[in-house]
Structure formats: C-alpha cells, structure tokens
Amino acid sequence: MGFTRRTDVAALLYRNLKVLAALIVLLVAALLFVAVREHRSEWRAIQDEYNRQARATGKAAAPVALRQIWRPELDLVDRCVSCHLGMGAAPAIVPAAEGGAGDAALFGKHPPVTHDVRAMGCTVCHRGQGAATTSVAAHGRVRFWDDPMLAAPQVGASCGFCHGDDVRISDGERSAARLPIDGSAWLDGKRAFTALGCRGCHRLGGIGGNVGPELDNAGAKSPAAMDFRLVTGAPTREAWHREHLLDPAKVSPGSQMPKFARPAAELDALVTYILSLRAEAVPVQLKPRPRLVGAESFLAEGRPLGAGLYGALCVQCHAENGTGKVIEALATVVPAIGNRDYLAVASTRYVSASIGAGRGGRAMPSWTRDAGGLETDEIDALVTYLESLRPEPATFAAVEALEPQATAAAGWVVLARDCAGCHGPEAAGTDLAPSLVAPELAAFASDRQLYEVIVRGVGDTAMPAFAHLPATSIASVLMALRAGPLGGSVVRGWDRARAVREVEASLGVAELAAYRAAGNAEKGAVKFKALCAGCHGPDGLGGTGPSLTSPGFLAAASDGFIAATILAGRSLRPMRPFGGAAGIAPLSRAEVADVIAYLRAARPEDPKAPMPRRVFGNGARGAEFYVKRCAECHGATGQGGVGPAFDSPDFQRVVADGFIQALIVRGNAGTPMRGWGRGGSAFAWLTPGEINDLVTHIRRYRAPEGAEPAP
C-alpha cells in the first residue's frame, strides 16, 4: 500500500513537471515573438527609415525608441511622435514635394501653429487613439473607439472646441486669425449655425429651444452610438452628420428636423462646427493668456442685439421679418409675429410674456434664463426688435399740417371701414368699444391724445394700433370726431363750451390740459371700490366698463381727460356723471384727485401673473359658433392645428381678452385667420355680443389658476 501511494505521487509530480516545462517553452516562445515583433514593429521601421534618410542628408540619426507625450491635465498620452518624428521629436527632413527625399507626413516639419507641438502632441487637435503604436489603431478606425481621428477638413473643430469662446462672428475673419490653424471653416460653420437659426430648436451653452436635443456634447458622440445603416459612404462621424443635415428623417427615422439642402462647402463647415461641440472642460492654464476670458457672441455682424437674437433663435420657425411659415416636420403653422395686424394688437406686455412663457405642448419654448437661457434685458431687446417691425406712424406734426385737406366725410369713410367692427356702424359704441360720437369725447380729449390712441392703440384691449394710416386719413378722422355724426349731435342741447368751463371750474384750473391730479391713492382706492368697481372691476382692469388701470389706457389718457370723464360722465353709455347737480354721487375736487392717484398707482404689470377676465358673454352660444367656424383650424377642443392652441395654459395666462377680441374682429393678414367683425376686411359679420360670447367660450379652455369660471 505504501509503495503504491509513493508511485502515484511520483507520477503526479512527473506530469506537473511536464506541464510546467511546456508552459516555460510557451512563455519563452511568446517572449521571443514579442521581441521579434517589437524589433520589426511599424514605428521602429519608420524610425529606421528616418535614420537612413537623415544620414543621407547629413543629419544626425535619432535614437530608436518608443516616444510619448504625457499631459495628465488633459488625460492625454500621445505616442504619435514615435512615427511623426519631424513634428518635433527629431530634426525635420525636407519632403520630396520641396525637393528633398523625406516623407512630408512622417518626417516633414509641422505647419506653423501657436502650440508647441513637442509639448502638446497630435491628438489634442487631430484626435484619434494617442496611446496606440500602429497607424491603424492610432488613427482611430477601429471598432468601438469613441474618438476617431478627424478628417483633414474638420481639424478646425478642435480649434473651435478650445478657442471658440474667444471667437466672435461679428469680428469676421479677424477672429479666424486667433485660432492655432486656419479656422475659416469652423468660423463659417458657426456663422451658418447662427444664420440658420439652429438655436431656435437646439439648446447650446444654456441658450436655445427645446424642440431638438441639446448640442453641448454633439461633437463627442461616439460612432458606436450612430446608426450607419442608412448612411451612404464611409461609416464616419463626418459622413453621418453631413447626411443628417441633408435629410434628418432618412438618417434618423422619426426626426422632426427640417432638411438643409445647403451647398457642399457650407455643409462641411457646419459639420466642422458640430464636431467642435464637446462638453469636457479645457483646463484654464492651457488657455492663451491674452484671451483667458472671452464672452461668446452668436450674433451676426453689425446687427443690434434684438435683431441678432431674432436671427439666431427665432428665424428658423417664424421666418425672416416674422412672416411665419408652415413646418411640415412638426405638423404646425408657426404664427406670423411680424405682420401689421398682429403687431397692431400685441402689447409690449403680451409679447414679452409670450417669449418668457413659451407655449407648452407646442414648438415654442420658454426663453427665460432658467429655460431658454435669455436674460431679461435680452428678452427686452427681442421685444424691441419685434415692435420695430410695426409701420412707422405719421407724425402728429404731419397730421396737423394736412388738416386743411381733411374732411369729416372722408373721416367717416375711414371710421366705417376700420372702426365699425368694434364701435358699431354709427360709432355709437358697443359691448366691445366705447362711443366715438359721445360729445364728451371730443370735448375733453385733445387732438394729440386722440392721435396717440389711433396710432399706438391701447394695449391689452380691443383697440389696436392704426399706425399704417396716412396722415390725411388720421386728420380726417380727427375732424370727424370733432364734428360728430353726420346727422348732427346725438345729445340734444349739449353745449361743449359750457361743459368744458364747468369741468375746469370744478377742478380749479384755467385749462383742462393743465390739470394734474395730486391726490391720495389709499383714499382713492376706498372711493373707487365703493363707486367704480361694480363696472370697472375690483382692480380697475375692466368688467362692464373698460379697463382703467391697463398701461395702455393710462399712457393715453391725461389726468384732465380722466377727471372730466368722472365729473361729466359719458353720453350713450352706462357711465353716469359724478359731478355737478346731476351727479349720482357728487365727488369733490380732492376725491377726484384721489381716484386718479389710485389709478396711476395701480400695481405694476407682472408678466407671470394671469391676465384677468373682463369679458363675460354667453359661453354656450360661443361654443356653437366655435364648432361651426373655428374648430377646423384651432381644433375641436382648442388643441390647435393650422391655428394656435387655445388649451395651452401659457396662452391662457398671458393673453388678454382684448387681444382675442381684436384678432377676431380684424383677422391676421397673411395667415388663414380672417376678420369676423363688421368692416371692409371682414369674412362674415359677428356682432360685438357674439364676439364676446366666442371669447367667453375660448376662455373655458384650461382657464388659468384663480380665474373665474366661465358662465
């Protein structure tokens, strides 16, 4: 038994020794193979060839060794100089193209750049796999390598990545000289990206829309994450981006991005710019000192801030000059925000609030700092630009100068054409707008005040701006308002001169135009709520009577006009006098001043606050008309279609009833929205009451929080 056991152990030991011997043989063979392969490696062969050419040209041979550049702050290991010796690892050899015998790519001198190539290496600009020791692996054309070497035309992308923050489009070609190499392609790409309005859909650097994906790291997208099945040609990032620009839906099925059929040079420039968009940070110590801090500007050369922002962020959807367009990929009609009808009724508050809030559920994003990335002053500049598209009105001096040529009859033609839809066919006033023939209007409003209301409108009410009217038409309208209706005064026995004298005496002024209210707003608030809120609303924003605290009204109405209206009332309207023996609740001079002080001190506008309801019609009747005439464009449930969506909480919050009234009456020229009010541009007539019914129904769609329920 003992002998047998010893025999088994010896046999096992013998077998193990044979296995060990075999492993040693394999190890020695592997070491020999590695040594032979290393001796015959690609980089060694290149260095041997360099030394042969160097000796032939009288230069010293370079030690044969694997070389590398290590930049830990960039997480960079770069062995490219093991082959590209002329780039700084050894003296350059004159290439054959210049009369020498050297290989330009391997042994030639690097083109002049601001970097020290010996310190920075190659991959910081050309990318690729810097730690590799073969050309195939180093140049990145290997499966699953995330950062392949850039094609020669796109090398400028790396310059833009590091130095782009310091290059302004507005600097023109001067900026290209700041880049380490010729940066014109990258600069052209950045310029095209801005001119095409790509930021309108894509957020970049914290600024842009949310329809498309963010682009901050678009240039670092791995080829492994790209689907090349529908890309013709080589499966490279450059080819993918180029074909994606040409036909996004083909390369990325389901994409809503429009096609960009641009010239080949512009497409290459855009691809270069896109490849420069990488999220990783550049170490501050590596930024050129003179340009350590540089604010990026994406505005076109020579354009004001607002116009530049519009071109960069809005033009892709709203088109040049805000004419609007159909975007088939998004199945939407983008509204015209630069045409006359829209700008005539859109108040500064509404435009600013719309830019800030956006339209939830639509392609229009919020552009506030936390969303689209714009500061308040930039939104203000954008609003100013849009308002600059309004027609420049005739000056008051020009209107006065043409008064001899004006006639009341011509003024009544203008009133019948442009004003009857709101003020009624005889301008006697309706549920939408006050009487224009009440004698108090002509008595207490100056020509300048009436002119301002005509050409500027009254913001957030149904009164649009008529800035397009020629001076002769405005002069004729003023004359018609002064003369009253063609059939004579609507109030028998009314004496204008006496009415003005009585008001001036009550206010203690020689001329109504000189009156300035100096009252107590707190006392005025008490009096207003007791006597005025029943018609004008608890905050003066309107009800049965018009809004008295809207910025548009307060900008147009003088203290004298408001005071005279309080004291004398308004004929043909529910507004009764509050002065003299006929006053229903006579107010003293001080009390009138207190009420005006309260109106002037009304809380400032808050663009985020919901606009209050001031129209209360019959929603059921409005729904019947909506189904017949509006649902086809705006959707059966207000979800939008060819026309904008009414069920958007953002729309409901920022829009005023007056804005809706005015657009229903006037329509929006150049869009499918026709006018429905009485007048020359109307498609079919709706009475003022029917328009209010329709507005009431529209307000039923997702009414903003705190708004009163529709009847």
- b/e per residue, 560-577, with b = 16+ CB within 10 A? bbbbbbbbbbbbebebeb
The pLDDT value given to residue 392: 92
Q: What are phi and psi of 74, to 5 degrees?
A: -105, 0
DSSP states of 226-277 as a string? S--TT--SS--HHHHHHHHHH-HHHHSTT--PPP----HHHHHHHHHHHHT-
The pLDDT value given to residue 470: 95
Give the span between the Cα atoms of 698 and 707, in whole angstroms: 13
Token pair 């009544």: residue: 412
Token pair 């678009």: residue: 218
Question: Average pLDDT, stretch 641-665?
Answer: 87
Where on the phi/psi map is residue 638: left (φ > 0), alpha (ψ -120 to 50), or beta?
Answer: left
Question: Average pLDDT, stretch 571-598?
Answer: 86
| Dihedral sign (CA 640, 644, 649, 650) | positive
CA 592 to chain CA centroid, Å, is 45
* Whether pLDDT at 288 is above 70: no
pLDDT digit string, tens, across residues 251-266? 899 888 888 888 999 9
Nearest alpha-carbon partner for 414 in 340, 475, 345: 475
The pLDDT value given to residue 2: 57
- Burial of residue 77, with CB atoms counted within 10 A of its CB: 0-12 exposed, 13-18 middle, 19 or more buried: middle
Token pair 């003296």: residue: 91
- b/e per residue, 518-535, with b = 16+ CB within 10 A? ebbbebbbebbeebbeeb
Q: What are phi and psi of 335, to 5 degrees?
A: -65, 155
Give the span between the Cα atoms of 222 and 145, in whole angstroms: 8
- Which of 282-296, 331-345, 393-407, 612-626 is least confident? 282-296
Nearest alpha-carbon partner for 237 in 316, 150, 300: 150
Helix (H) or strand (E) holding 315: helix 315-318
Residue 525 banded pLDDT, cuts 50, 70, 90: very high
pLDDT digit string, tens, across residues 95-107? 755 655 567 778 8
CB atoms within 10 A of CB 346: 26
pLDDT digit string, tens, across residues 332-367? 778 888 888 889 888 888 899 899 988 876 778 888
* Whether pLDDT at 297 is above 50: no
* Whether pLDDT at 222 is above 80: yes
- Which of 368-372, 451-455, 578-582, 627-631 is least confident? 578-582
For the record, the structure tokens of 551 come out as 């910025």
Q: How far is the CA of 44 from the CAs of 67, 83, 109, 312, 672, in angstroms?
A: 11, 8, 20, 52, 73
Residue 711 banded pLDDT, cuts 50, 70, 90: very low
The pLDDT value given to residue 77: 86
Contact in structure between 430 and 688 (CB atoms under 8 Å): yes
DSSP-derived secondary structure letter, 73: G
Give the span between the Cα atoms of 274 and 264, in whole angstroms: 15
* Whether pLDDT at 444 is above 70: yes
Residue 622 banded pLDDT, cuts 50, 70, 90: very high
Across the chain, mean pLDDT equals 81
Give strand pairing partners of 373.
Answer: none
Question: Average pLDDT, stretch 643-671?
Answer: 86
* Whether pLDDT at 526 is above 50: yes
Residue 702 banded pLDDT, cuts 50, 70, 90: low
Residue 293 banded pLDDT, cuts 50, 70, 90: very low
**503-506 own/partner pairs: CB under 8 Å, 24+ apart:** 503/444, 503/563, 503/564, 503/567, 503/568, 503/579, 506/567, 506/579, 506/580, 506/589, 506/592
The pLDDT value given to residue 176: 47
* Whether pLDDT at 295 is above 50: no
CB atoms within 10 A of CB 681: 16
- Which of 176-180, 384-388, 464-468, 508-512 is least confident? 176-180
The pLDDT value given to residue 1: 52
Query: Mapping DSSP to helix (H, G, I), strand (E, B) and coil, where does residue 297 land?
Result: coil
* Whether pLDDT at 384 is above 90: yes
List CB contacts of 667: < 8 A, sequence separation 6 or more. 341, 673, 674, 675, 676, 681, 682, 683
CB atoms within 10 A of CB 366: 19
Nearest alpha-carbon partner for 181 in 161, 155, 162: 155
User: How many alpha carbons fall within 13 Å on the CB side of residue 31?
Assistant: 6
Give the span between the Cα atoms of 93 and 101, in whole angstroms: 8
Contact in structure between 686 and 677 (CB atoms under 8 Å): yes
Give the span between the Cα atoms of 455 and 377, in whole angstroms: 26
Identify which has the larger pLDDT, 526 or 442. Answer: 526
* Whether pLDDT at 521 is above 70: yes
The pLDDT value given to residue 680: 47
The pLDDT value given to residue 476: 94
Question: Average pLDDT, stretch 288-304?
Answer: 43
CB atoms within 10 A of CB 204: 17
* Whether pLDDT at 284 is above 80: no
Q: Which amino acid is at 446?
A: S
Q: What are phi and psi of 682, to 5 degrees?
A: -75, 145
pLDDT digit string, tens, across residues 63-109? 888 888 888 877 788 888 888 888 777 888 877 556 555 677 788 78
Nearest alpha-carbon partner for 76 in 119, 123, 116: 123
User: How many alpha carbons fall within 13 Å on the CB side of residue 593?
Assistant: 12
The pLDDT value given to residue 704: 43
* Whether pLDDT at 169 is above 60: no
Residue 62 banded pLDDT, cuts 50, 70, 90: confident
Question: Average pLDDT, stretch 294-303?
Answer: 44
* Whether pLDDT at 499 is above 70: yes
Please name the residue ranges forming H helices in 406-558.
408-418, 420-423, 439-444, 447-456, 471-483, 496-507, 521-531, 533-536, 551-556
Give the span between the Cα atoms of 568 and 590, in whole angstroms: 16
Give the span between the Cα atoms of 66 and 85, in whole angstroms: 11
* Whether pLDDT at 229 is above 60: yes
pLDDT digit string, tens, across residues 115-161? 777 888 888 888 888 888 888 888 876 666 788 888 888 888 887 77
Nearest alpha-carbon partner for 193 in 223, 222, 160, 149: 160
CA 617 to chain CA centroid, Å, is 35
For the record, the structure tokens of 72 come out as 């830990």
* Whether pLDDT at 51 is above 70: yes
| Dihedral sign (CA 583, 589, 594, 597) | positive
Rounded to a whole number of angstroms, the distance between the first and last alpha carbons of the chain is 109
Q: Are strands 325-327 and 69-71 parallel, antiparallel or unpaired?
A: unpaired
For the record, the structure tokens of 311 come out as 């071109």
Identify which has the larger pLDDT, 428 or 550. Answer: 428
Token pair 């005040």: residue: 449
Please name the residue ranges forming H helices in 406-470.
408-418, 420-423, 439-444, 447-456
